[in-house]
């Protein structure tokens, strides 16, 4: 972004002190722009994935100068790089979603592969062999790319959007889904791992680690409660794209906590308009009465809302927003028990009448 020159804002009649103040304000603005840009790049590097590999010909020789393009099918994002002298290429910081990979080189047929899905934290390796041929010839590969990561030693499992939406959640707290990973379990509460600040926070142990050793990230930024070292609130399930749980041999880029990393990615807009509305309710009128209760469950609880996303400018700019509201209308089900004394059982209620009178006088 290009800022107007400072001199164009120096008006006649302003003192030297005023002009100096204005220059300092612009310097501060430039500092904020560059510092926020650096944080944004760091967030993209953690909350996204990448594709890398080598380009070879049919004989196994490296193909230098080949054009490699990754196109996201939902948003129309295009990322293009050129293979190096050893045939290697790297497409970093790719937002999650389905991709199509295209490779072309002088004197070779074009190569095109679909079915590639980038998940949060993925580091996929796709090696391509180009066949000698004309530029108009294309080798089409429709098989899904292998999701086995050979560039990362950590153990990772992704909870995708389908499971986030379809699985029943008590209170629609997405943190419960972390327990779906094989190494996660509920940690015993204590002074150091209690969920003191947020009802949606959880105390979990992953791969035998302490509950305070989990690093929570959302869209690549810190999502930890610094007071208790548990998670800050998750978005409601309809606003989540996916999240991963990584442990054992974490990359140095995560830092902070060595036990595990929970990496959350929120949903975003695409080239097509999409949205959902929901209403999850609990009403005692739909339940059978408990045998030992004098009446039916009277709790009325509604969780409702919706999300919507779409393009502002196709292939360039998108929007996404959502809302969830919770309304709880409980009704007390307390009962008062009265145990008669022996005098009352004999027909003498004089003590009971005196007690009633004293209560009326007191209140």
More confident: 99 or 147: 99
Q: Quick one: 115 and 175 in the same domain?
A: no
More confident: 29 or 3: 29
Q: How far is CA 17 from CA 7, 9, 11, 24, 113, in A?
A: 14, 14, 13, 11, 62
Q: Whole domain around residue 183: which residue ranges?
A: 155-266
Does residue 179 contact residue 187 with C-beta atoms inside 8 Å? no
Quick one: which of 296, 291, 320, 297 has its CA closest to 307?
320
The tens digit of pLDDT for each residue in 67-78 reads: 999 998 888 888
pLDDT value at residue 190: 60
The answer to the question of residue 316 being in a domain is no
More confident: 15 or 231: 231
What is the band of 34 on the pLDDT scale with cuts at 50, 70, 90?
very low
Q: Quick one: 164 and 206 in the same domain?
A: yes
Q: How far is CA 262 from CA 77, 204, 206, 232, 363, in A?
A: 26, 11, 10, 12, 57
pTM of this structure: 0.68
The answer to the question of residue 360 being in a domain is no
- Residue identified by tokens 């509305």 is 277
Q: How far is CA 149 from CA 126, 272, 343, in A?
A: 10, 31, 82
Last residue of a domain, one of 266, 289, 323: 266
Q: Percent of the chain, pLDDT > 90?
A: 18
Side-chain-facing half-sphere of 196: CA atoms under 13 Å: 10
Q: Quick one: 183 and 204 in the same domain?
A: yes
Domain CATH code at residue 191: 2.170.130.10
Q: Quick one: 197 and 136 in the same domain?
A: no
What is the band of 11 on the pLDDT scale with cuts at 50, 70, 90?
very low
The answer to the question of residue 149 being in a domain is no
pLDDT value at residue 36: 39
Q: Quick one: 29 and 57 in the same domain?
A: no
More confident: 38 or 158: 158
Q: Quick one: 41 and 55 in the same domain?
A: no
Q: Quick one: 80 and 129 in the same domain?
A: yes
Give the residue-averaged pLDDT of 292-317: 86
Q: How many domains does the chain have?
A: 3
Q: Quick one: 130 and 166 in the same domain?
A: no
The answer to the question of residue 342 being in a domain is no
The tens digit of pLDDT for each residue in 137-166 reads: 666 776 555 556 666 677 878 888 888 888
Q: How big is the CA angle at 109 (ends 105 and 112), to the nearest 5 degrees?
A: 90
Q: Quick one: 205 and 245 in the same domain?
A: yes
Domain CATH code at residue 130: 2.60.40.1120
Distance CA 192, CA 212 (A): 8
The answer to the question of residue 235 being in a domain is yes
Distance CA 144, CA 167 (A): 26
DSSP characters for 126-192? --EEEPB--TT-EEEE-SPPP---SS--SEEEEE-HHHHHHS--GGG-GGGGGGGSTTEEEPPP-TT
The answer to the question of residue 347 being in a domain is no
Q: Percent of the chain, pLDDT > 70?
A: 74
Tell me the pLDDT of the chain averaged across its residues: 77
Last residue of a domain, one of 218, 237, 266: 266
Q: Quick one: 131 and 221 in the same domain?
A: no
SS (H, E, C) 32-88: HHHHHHHHHHHHHHHCCEEEEEEEEECCCCECCCCEEEEEECCCCCEEEEECCCCCE
What is the band of 292 on the pLDDT scale with cuts at 50, 70, 90?
confident
Last residue of a domain, one of 240, 266, 292: 266
More confident: 252 or 108: 108
The answer to the question of residue 337 being in a domain is no
pLDDT value at residue 306: 94
The tens digit of pLDDT for each residue in 172-224 reads: 888 888 888 878 888 776 645 655 667 667 788 888 888 778 889 998 888 88
Q: Quick one: 210 and 118 in the same domain?
A: no
Q: Quick one: 24 and 88 in the same domain?
A: no
The answer to the question of residue 126 being in a domain is yes
Strand partners, 117: 98
């Amino acid at each position: 972004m290009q800022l107007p020159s400072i001199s164009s804002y120096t008006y006649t009649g302003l003192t030297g002190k005023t002009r100096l103040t204005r220059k300092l304000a612009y310097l501060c603005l430039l500092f904020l722009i560059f510092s926020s840009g650096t944080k944004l790049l760091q967030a993209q590097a953690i909350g996204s994935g990448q594709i890398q590999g080598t380009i070879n010909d049919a004989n196994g020789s490296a193909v230098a100068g080949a054009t490699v393009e990754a196109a996201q099918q939902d948003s129309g994002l295009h990322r293009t790089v050129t293979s190096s002298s050893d045939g290697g290429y790297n497409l970093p910081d790719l937002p999650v979603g389905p991709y199509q990979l295209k490779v072309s080189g002088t004197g070779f047929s074009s190569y095109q592969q679909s079915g590639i899905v980038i998940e949060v934290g993925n580091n996929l390796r796709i090696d391509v062999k180009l066949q000698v041929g004309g530029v108009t010839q294309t080798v089409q590969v429709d098989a899904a790319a292998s999701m086995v990561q050979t560039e990362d030693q950590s153990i990772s499992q992704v909870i995708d959007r389908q499971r986030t939406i379809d699985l029943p959640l008590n209170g629609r707290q997405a943190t419960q889904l972390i327990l779906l990973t094989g190494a996660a379990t509920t940690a015993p509460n204590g002074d150091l791992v209690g969920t003191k600040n947020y009802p949606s926070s959880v105390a979990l142990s992953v791969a035998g680690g302490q509950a305070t050793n989990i690093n929570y990230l959302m869209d690549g930024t810190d999502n930890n409660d610094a007071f208790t070292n548990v998670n800050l609130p998750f978005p409601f399930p309809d606003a989540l794209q996916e999240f991963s749980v990584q442990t054992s041999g974490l990359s140095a880029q995560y830092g902070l906590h060595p036990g595990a990393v929970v990496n959350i990615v929120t949903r975003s807009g695409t080239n097509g308009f999409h949205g959902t509305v929901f209403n999850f309710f609990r009403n005692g009128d739909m339940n059978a009465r408990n045998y030992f209760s004098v009446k039916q469950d009277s709790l009325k609880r509604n969780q409702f809302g919706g999300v919507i996303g779409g393009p502002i400018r196709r292939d360039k700019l998108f929007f996404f927003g959502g809302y969830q509201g919770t309304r709880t209308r409980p009704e007390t089900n307390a009962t008062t028990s009265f145990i008669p004394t022996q005098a009352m059982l004999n027909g003498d209620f004089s003590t009971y009448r005196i007690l009633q009178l004293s209560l009326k006088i007191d209140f």
